[in-house]
Amino acid sequence: MLYFVATPIGNLKDISFRAIEVLKGVDEIACEDTRHSLTLLNHYEIKKPTFSYHKFNEKEVGEKIIEKLKNGKNIAVISDAGMPVISDPGGVLIPMLKQNGLQYTIIPGANAALSALILSGLNSERFCFVGFLPEKKKDREELISGFIDTPATLIFYSAPHDVNKDILSLYSVLGDRNAAAVKEITKLHESAITFNLKDGLGVEPKGEYVILVEGKAKQNELNSLSEEEHFKFYLSQGLDKKEAIKKVAKDRGVSKSSLYKYTIE
């Protein structure tokens, strides 16, 4: 059996009893960074052989993992923080496991994207996880453009050296929207900064960030009418001219004074 095991994203206590039990019970542990994982493993007195499994050797080491499993070994896969596979190594391995008819399961736990969504204060009813943006500006903007009309909170991961350019790309494609930048989740200096995309983050980026952007607002179909048609629609609903103007102004996000000409006409 292969286990994808979620690890803490900050506070070392954010790990399940089952995860510790599995890590102590497997034969070997595949780590995104063996040195980084050593802190967690030592903290819980987990003494198991480890080996490196990261995005640059996924295919090669994945084949070795397949052989280990075929030879009867139980393997755990962990990333530096959070759930493996989600913007972390593991995605390449799953098709290989299926192709070879090998069993695998997950040991769930902490997740940065969902934690940041709650901390952000943005709409959590519907959300869309995008992950890291590509390095090249053209590729970033092409990816973002696919989510312009998504009516759900968008979630991105961003390294400290990419935060400002990622926000700039988001603004250039999505326009100005409410956003939040969350970092140090579950740690002492946890923070969730709310801002508008056009204004940028406003502070020097430090550490890994989760950037969240509000989804596209639902469009009022009446706004596709001309102002005059919009005004006449409300009159046809039995509203007087004053109330109709008030409704049109609210729908279109304009001042009532700009619509008074229709009351005179």
Helix axes 137-145, 163-174, angle to 10 degrees: 50
- Per-residue HEC secondary structure of 103-118 comes to CEEEECCCCHHHHHHH
The predicted-structure confidence for 9-28, as pLDDT tens digits, reads as follows 999 999 999 999 999 999 99
Question: Residue 82 — pLDDT band, cuts 50, 70, 90?
Answer: very high
The predicted-structure confidence for 53-71, as pLDDT tens digits, reads as follows 999 999 999 999 999 999 9
Question: Residue 220 — pLDDT band, cuts 50, 70, 90?
Answer: low
Q: Domain 2-110, what fold?
A: Cobalt-precorrin-4 Transmethylase; domain 1 (3.40.1010)
How confident is the model at residue 153, as a pLDDT?
A: 97
How confident is the model at residue 250, as a pLDDT?
A: 81
Its pTM stands at: 0.80
Strands 178-183 vs 209-213: parallel, antiparallel or unpaired: antiparallel
How confident is the model at residue 247, as a pLDDT?
A: 84
The predicted-structure confidence for 43-53, as pLDDT tens digits, reads as follows 999 999 999 99
| Numbered ranges of CATH 3.30.950.10 in the chain | 113-213
| Numbered ranges of CATH 3.40.1010.10 in the chain | 2-110
CATH 3.30.950.10 fits 113-213, yes or no: yes
For residues 196-219, b (16+ Cβ closer than 10 Å) or e, as one string? Answer: ebeeebeeebeebbbbbbbbbeee
Contact of 20 with 42, CB cutoff 8 Å? no
Amino acid at 149: D
In angstroms, rounded to a whole number, what is the distance separating the alpha carbons of residues 187 and 41?
19
Question: Residue 163 — pLDDT band, cuts 50, 70, 90?
Answer: very high
